Chain A
Amino acid sequence: MKGLNSLFLAAMMLAVPFLAQAEQMPEFHIIIKNHKFQPAEVVVPANTKVKLIVENQDATPEEFESHEMHREKIIAGNKTAKILIGPLKPGKYPFFGEFNQDTAQGMVIAE
């Protein structure tokens, strides 16, 4: 059991430095209105962690989801949420509103 306990302690010691984070990151604002993302395309710097500020102006909740960016976040009606993404390699990363997929479609473009 000593081995397992040592493993825990080593893992915890290793984990602490990983809590560090850059103090500033670029922010981008997206509005959800009438079950659509506005803007539908967001251009972000590649290889940089960025923050999406998503404001849901609809009365109903929406889920921001992107398998490509590994993000999933429900935003209540008339509420705002922050979604941190990246660093992304240059390319296009689609996202959608899970509760209104017919209309709520968008794209993050990293360049």
Chain B
Amino acid sequence: MTGRFCISGHNPRKHSRLITGLVGGLFISLPGAVPLYADGSIIDKVYHPYVQLLEKEIEYRLRYQDDDDPELDDQQRHKLGLGQSLSDRVFAEIYLIGKNTPDSDFELSAVEAELKLQLTEQGEYNNDWGMLFELEREKDENIWEASTALIALHEWSRWIGTANLSLAYEWGNDIDNELETGLATQLRYRYSQAVEPALEVYFSEDTQGLGPVLTGVQRLGGRRKLLWEFGVILGLDNSTADASWKFNIEYEY
């Protein structure tokens, strides 16, 4: 038995104008001088632009830095998130962020709220598009950070290229107000659902790094699944740690 076939008209111009406007509005006023993010590194996660209806998740991310410089060495950043889709186009997540260093034990350092918008239907255009909005507040200091990122994804058969172009603004009594841009990209090969190899590149004023990452999905039955990522990002300049190990795990239910 085969499916019914027909031709439908489709006018994407309205969406194209909307997305072009968002893109232009986001990046039209990029500044010349932009310092670093609150913790000095943008190495974290490369977001895809998709949102699933009825999706809930618990997420944990760890980043561990290894470097000859004591100021960068043995730094750990932990991020615990709880998220839920609000519709088939909007996903919200709240994070607790903690850190520990050689000089201090683990402490909760910040909280963050995040909203992801899926702008286009998967496969509707040559690229799939999304937007990310984040608001972070340091716990013991008067420092706020608001950021937004444009998410773009392109498929070349079994290869998937993803880019997150971000713009962040920091302000508060304990920091000079500042603006920063960042670029995080991932090139992933869809080898199998269990394991997919990828290469990630991070680039901002104070972060330059690239390295291999493995990702995968483990199905647990029904709508439950475990998504994981493990990799190492190698620093390409003196302000980036020689090695930033990253481990992310998400439980979707």
Contact = CB atoms under 8 A, between A and B. Distances in A.
Interface of A: 1-2, 4-5, 7-9, 11-12, 15-16, 18-21, 23-30, 38-44, 49, 51-52, 61, 63, 67, 70-76, 81-86, 89, 98-99
Interface stretch (B28-36, B58-66, B93-101): B28-36
5 contacts: A4-B183, A28-B5, A63-B52, A76-B54, A89-B157
Interface in B1-25: 1-12, 15-16, 19-20, 23-24
Interface residues of B, number: 55
Given A1-B32, A41-B2, A73-B52, A19 B125 contact: yes
B190 A70 contact: yes
Contacts of B127: 15, 18-19
A19 B9 CA distance: 17
A10 B52 CA distance: 31
Interface of B: 1-12, 15-16, 19-20, 23-24, 27, 30-34, 50, 52-55, 88, 121-127, 152, 154-155, 157, 160, 163, 165, 181, 183, 190, 192-193, 203-205, 219, 222-223
B86 to A, nearest CB: 14
B203 A4 contact: yes
Contacts of A2: 32
B23 A12 contact: yes
Nearest 5 pairs of A and B residues by beta carbon: A84-B123, A28-B3, A39-B1, A42-B3, A18-B126
A30 B5 CA distance: 11
Contacts of B8: 24-25, 27, 51
